[in-house]
Amino acid sequence: MGNQVFSVKSIAKSFGSEKDGNYMEVIHDVSMDIAEKEFIVILGNSGCGKSTFLKILGGIEPATAGSMVLNGRDIGTAIPPEELRRFGFVFQSNNLLPWRTAEGNLKLMLQIMKLKGEQWNKRIDEMLDIVGLLDYKSVYPHELSGGMKQRVGIARALVHDPDILILDQPLGALDAITRKMLSYEILNIWKKTQKTIIMVTNNVDEAILLASRIFVFSNKPAVITHEIKVDIPVEERNHQIGQNTRYNQLREEINEIVRAAM
């Protein structure tokens, strides 16, 4: 595990105001330290505030209270615009532009980040290759399967070479078989790119397969109820993982935690 790259300290998020009677606290006093090359998974029931938390981490929304520290610098409750390039974001729906090819969707990200030059065009091919879609670079989204679209979404989030990749339930909209296949795909992408990854899911099996550490969120307002280190060596995380004793112990333990929170 590398150096600490990102910390959140006592992050809270609320919407509305008490005066109007529509005040709602979604996240309450959440703190975590994230190390370089770690794969962090946030696990919790639907609607508990996981995605809101990721939006704060990815600079889409500010926190109401607390602070964040990025590479040793205190950045307060929101990611400053000049730091956004350090993050790549993958949403539950792939959000691809239908009138652009796979290559065109990645190129758009480089244009937004104002990154030009031959090395960046080369990087488009490299990222499509990492997600196994180099042969589909000229194909439009409507010609791709759901899993392939999501892989283009991951390549697009990586193309500007962010330090931290944020995945907001990237497999949630897929059927069970595609979802399982793509979870192994994400594991391989992590091994190949060595990025720091923070991912939200409500799937226990997925969390154990991928995570270095799992943070379990309570129902709203979300607090961290458990932090679980996944001590299964990366080389043992393969299609036979279901037979791994430690995997099954963790699965039982975490399912119990999640059930109790419902």
CA angle 89, 200, 63 (to 5 degrees): 70
Q: Tell me how long the chain is.
A: 262
Which class for 175: exposed (0-12), middle (13-18), buried (19 or more C-beta within 10 A)? Answer: exposed
Give the per-residue pLDDT at 262.
62
Report the predicted TM-score, pTM, of the whole model to 2 decimal places: 0.92
Cβ contacts of residue 143 below 8 Å, gap of 6+? Answer: none
Tokens 């795909």 found at: 185
Cβ neighbours of 196 (radius 10 Å) = 24
243 Rama class: left (phi>0) / alpha (psi -120 to 50) / beta: alpha
Which amino acid is located at 204 in the chain? V
Residue 13's SS3 state is: strand
- Distance set, CA 173 to CA 32, 138, 217 (Å): 28, 24, 21
Q: Where are the alpha helices (DSSP H) in 134-203?
A: 146-158, 176-193
Q: Token digits for 41?
A: 């998974």
Q: Do residues 69 and 33 lie in contact, with contact meaning Cβ atoms separated by under 8 Å?
A: no
Note down pLDDT in tens along the chain; length 262 residues: 568 889 999 999 998 877 777 788 899 999 999 999 999 999 988 778 888 999 999 888 999 999 999 988 999 999 998 888 899 998 877 789 999 999 999 999 898 888 888 888 899 999 999 999 999 999 999 999 888 999 999 999 999 999 999 999 888 777 788 888 889 989 999 998 889 999 999 889 999 999 999 999 988 888 999 999 999 999 999 989 989 999 999 999 999 988 876 6
Q: Token digits for 10?
A: 């006592």
- Transcribe 26-63 into DSSP letters: EEEEEEEEEETT-EEEEE--TTSSHHHHHHHHTTSS--
Domains in the chain with CATH codes: 4-261 (3.40.50.300)
Which candidate, 69, 84, 53, 89, places its Cα nearest to that of 215?
53
Residue 197's SS3 state is: strand
